[in-house]
Amino acid sequence: MQETNQEKNIQIVAEWIQAARHAVALTGAGISTPSGIPDFRSPGTGLWERNNPLEVASWRAFRHHPQRFFDWLRPLVAKSWHATPNPAHFALADLQKAGYLQAIITQNIDNLHQRAGATRVIELHGSLRTLTCLNCQRQYQIEVFIEPFIRGVPPRCPNCRAFLKPDIVLFEEMLPIEAWEEALAHCEKADLLLVIGSSLEVMPAAQLPLYTLEHGGRIVINTLSPTYLDRDAALVLRQNVLEVIPHVAARVLGQRSA
């Protein structure tokens, strides 16, 4: 049977992963959309289709219009809380466990990489797992507040009754410095960077592949939308991540792909 171009590309990526000294993955919203979590920019379904992010997802919105902020956040939290990892999440976790993937850098806040079994996950934009009171600086696990929040009750600090801020990076906020420095170090060291499900539009995360290129590494892009680095990529796979990543991992690990 003649091998298709997609099968050839999957084999090429698998061989690059096997040969890499320091392979790293950078994931965006596109790896979690098959789990039912909407991305931000897809026509018709993106989270920014009906809302200006600066009006609902910014530091200013949280401080001055908390009800608007929480009303916007609630559906995303509900979908993330009830979502389960998909085969692409499990494939990356398996590659990491087998020693082929040195780190997973993610722009996502849904915790699905960790729930799939990945351990070295660098969260550039924070996580929905915890909330912090900006008044008394106490931090809480989201489990205590999740069900009331989904029903419409914004989370308040049990100590001082101030609104709790989810530990995610909002517009007008800086990225957590430790996460950024760790991600940067991995990308500079990477001889192979897999960009998975990211349109590479959100800065500064979108700059990370440049550091891999500048240090002589190759990048592979698997996302449905064009990116500004398509011409610089060693390979671009314009397919759904579920059609690529599980099959790549199966080739690398010597398994039969689904």
How long a stretch of residues is the chain? 258
CA-wise closest residue to 168 among 53, 64, 89: 53
* Longest distance between any two alpha carbons in the chain, whole Å: 68
35, two tokens: 């789990």
- Nearby residues of 7 by Cβ (< 8 Å), 6 or more positions away: none
- Buried b / exposed e along 2-16 (16+ C-beta atoms within 10 A): eeeeeeebbebbbeb
What is the rounded distance in angstroms from the CA atom of residue 154 to the CA atom of residue 134?
15
Does residue 89 carry a catalytic annotation?
no
Q: What amino acid occupies position 45?
A: T
What is the rounded distance in angstroms from the CA atom of residue 96 to the CA atom of residue 157?
37
Kindly list the distances between the CA atom of residue 18 and the CA atoms of 104, 162, 250, in Å, as whole numbers in the listed order: 16, 51, 12
CA-wise closest residue to 37 among 48, 29, 26, 25: 29
Beta bridge partners of 163: 156
The catalytic position among 89, 113, 125, 247 is 125
6, two tokens: 């997609």
Cβ distance 37 to 85 under 8 Å?
Answer: no
Helix axis angle for 245-253 and 87-97, nearest 10°, is: 30
CA atoms within 13 A on the CB side of 166: 27
Residues tagged active-site:
125
